[in-house]
Amino acid sequence: AAALAVIPPLFLGGWSDWIYRGLTFLVVSCPCAVVISVPLSFFGGLGGASKAGVLVKGSNYLEALAETEIVVMDKTGTLTKGTFKVKEVKPAMEENKQNVLSEVITRDKLLEITAYAESYSNHPISLSIQKAYGRELDKSRLESTEELAGHGVHAVIDGDDIYAGNEKLMQQQKISFTNAAQIGTIVHVARNNQYLGYILIADEIKEDAAACISGLKAEGVKRVIMLTGDRRETADYVASQIGLTEVHSELLPGDKVDEVEKIIGSKSPKGKLVFVGDGINDAPVLARADIGIAMGGLGSDAAIEAADVVIMTDEPSKIAAAMKISRKTLGIVKQNIVFALGVKILVLILAAVGIANMWLAVFADVGVAVLAILNAMRALRVKGIDCVNEKDAR
C-alpha cells in the first residue's frame, strides 16, 4: 500500500489519486475475514459436535478426525454395554470310588468364594459376580487381595489361596481347568491349586454397534479392527453380529499397545489412526493413537483423561457423526478462505488500477468478514447429521 501511494506518482504525478488508491489498497488488505472466520468455523464445529453428544478437546483433533483411515476399537463397554450378568455357575466335577461324578463344591459356595475374591475390584465383571451373590460380604475373612492386570485376582480367604480369572491365569499357576466352549466371559476359580469350577458371565451388544461399523465404512474408513482381552469365541461372536471382519482377541493391556504400534505402521503418512476404548487398561493405547476416543458414561477417569474425544452418551455410532461434523467444518473453513482471499485479490487489483473506491474496499474488508462469519456459524447446525436426534438438533 505504501509503495502504491509513493512510487507511481514519482514518475506519473497525481499524488492525491495514488495516495487514495494506496489507502483503498490498505483497507482491502486487512486479513480480518480470514483471521476471524477460520477459528470461528472450528469453534462452531466443536459446538455442533457437543450438541451431538461428542466432546472434542481441541480444534486440532476435530480437523484430524476428517483424515481417519483406521479405527481400532475395544469390545467391552465400547461395542458392548459392559453390564455383565452371571449366566451360569458351573462347579468342577470329580469321580469318586464308585466311578460316579460329583461336584467338587456347591454352586452357592463357588459363587461365594468368587464374590469375596472379587470384592475389592471395581471391574464390571467383578461387580456382576458380587451382585449375583447378593449378600453382605464380611471382609474380615479376606487376609489379602491382589488384582492381576489382564488375568484376574488373587486373594487369601480364610487362609486359602484363591485365584479367580481367565484361562491365562490358570495356565500361569499350572492349574488344570475345564475349557468351556461357551459364548461369554468365563471366570475360572481355583483354591489352593485345586480347580473349583467356572462362572459364565454374558455381556450385551449395544443397539447401535452395527450401525457404528457400517457408518464408519460409509465415511471412508479403510479398516475397522476390534482388540479385546476376551476369549476368541466371544470376540468372534460379537464381531460376526456387528459386521466386523478383523479381530484380535485374548490380549493383555500391553499387547494392545503392541498391536496398535503394528497397525500404525501400516497406515499412509497422512492417514490417522483412531482408538476407541473405555477402561483404565485402555489409557496407554488412547494416549498412543493419533486420536483417542473414550466412552464418557461408563468410561474410567483415566481413559477420559487420556482421550482427545469423549462420547458423552456412550453410543459408538456417534463416532461416524463426529467425522461428518469434522468434514463439514473443514469444508466451511475452505469456503471461507477461498471466498475471502478471492474477493480481496480481485478488489486489490481493482484498487491498484483505480477502479475500486473506498466503499468497495470497506465491503471487501468488513462485508466479506461478516459473510464469512455467517458462513462459519453453519458449523453449529448439526441437523441432518446421522445419529443426532431432533432434541440435539434444536
> Taking the mean position of all CA atoms in its chain, how far away is CA 32?
35
CA distance 165 to 196: 12
Q: Would you tell me how many other CB atoms lie within 10 Å of the CB of residue 98?
A: 6
Instruction: Please give the grid coordinates belonging to residue 220.
Output: 471412508
Using DSSP's 3-state secondary structure scheme, residue 316 falls into coil
The b-or-e profile of 220-259 (16+ CB within 10 A means b, else e) is ebebbbbbbbbbeebbbebbeebebeebbbbbebeebbeb
74: annotated active-site residue:
yes
Cβ-based burial of 140 (10 A; exposed 0-12, middle 13-18, buried ≥19): exposed
Residues 6+ apart with CB under 8 A from 138: none
CA distance 297 to 170: 33
Of these residues, 17, 74, 208, 230, which one is catalytic?
74
Strand partners, 85: 202
Catalytic (active-site) positions: 74
